[in-house]
């Protein structure tokens, strides 16, 4: 993986929190920031996928794919966070299940 430079300014409080991470993990600041960014982006993707699903803007399978999770992992999160997402009639639900199965096969 090629690493690209990234420069940003942060408030002192965030700088202190980054320092806590570097001390705890015994890593350099750049590595700590990369780790924090990866965790933050992953969490943002999950939250956004859940919002999109809840609002009916994407299918269950597309939301899971957006969150970079398999269907079962995403289903656990949906259940745990009590996200209501089924807003379709029975016939439409059958078609959604068929599409989700097809999405996971390909």
- End-to-end Cα, the chain, rounded Å: 26
pLDDT score of 94: 77
| Closest listed residue to residue 96, CA positions, set 81, 86, 105, 82 | 86
Q: Count up the domains in the chain and report the number.
A: 1
For residues 97 and 69, the model is more confident at 69
Domain assignment of residue 5, yes or no: no
More confident residue, 1 or 88: 1
Note down the domain range covering 78: 12-105
Distance from C-alpha of 18 to C-alpha of 22, rounded to nearest angstrom: 6
- In a domain, residue 3? The reply is no
Residue pair 59/100 in contact (Cβ under 8 Å)? The answer is yes
Q: What DSSP string runs through the chain?
A: -----------HHHHHHHHHHHHHHT--HHHHHHHHHHHHHHHHHHHHHHHHHHTTSS-HHHHHHHTT--HHHHHHHHHHTT-----S-HHHHHHHHHHHHHHHH-
> Is residue 2 domain-resident?
no
Residue 27 lies in a domain: yes
Q: Is the pLDDT of residue 106 over 60?
A: no
- Over residues 22-44, the pLDDT tens digits come to 999 999 999 999 999 999 999 99
């Amino acid at each position: 993986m090629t690493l690209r430079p990234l420069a940003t300014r942060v408030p002192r409080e965030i700088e202190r929190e980054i320092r806590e991470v570097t001390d705890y993990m015994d890593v350099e600041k750049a590595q700590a920031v990369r780790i924090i960014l990866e965790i933050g982006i992953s969490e943002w993707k999950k939250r956004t996928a859940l919002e999109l699903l809840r609002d009916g803007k994407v299918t269950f399978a597309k939301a899971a794919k957006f969150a970079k999770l398999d269907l079962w992992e995403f289903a656990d999160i949906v259940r745990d966070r009590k996200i209501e997402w089924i807003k379709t009639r029975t016939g439409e639900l059958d078609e959604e299940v068929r599409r989700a199965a097809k999405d996971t096969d390909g």
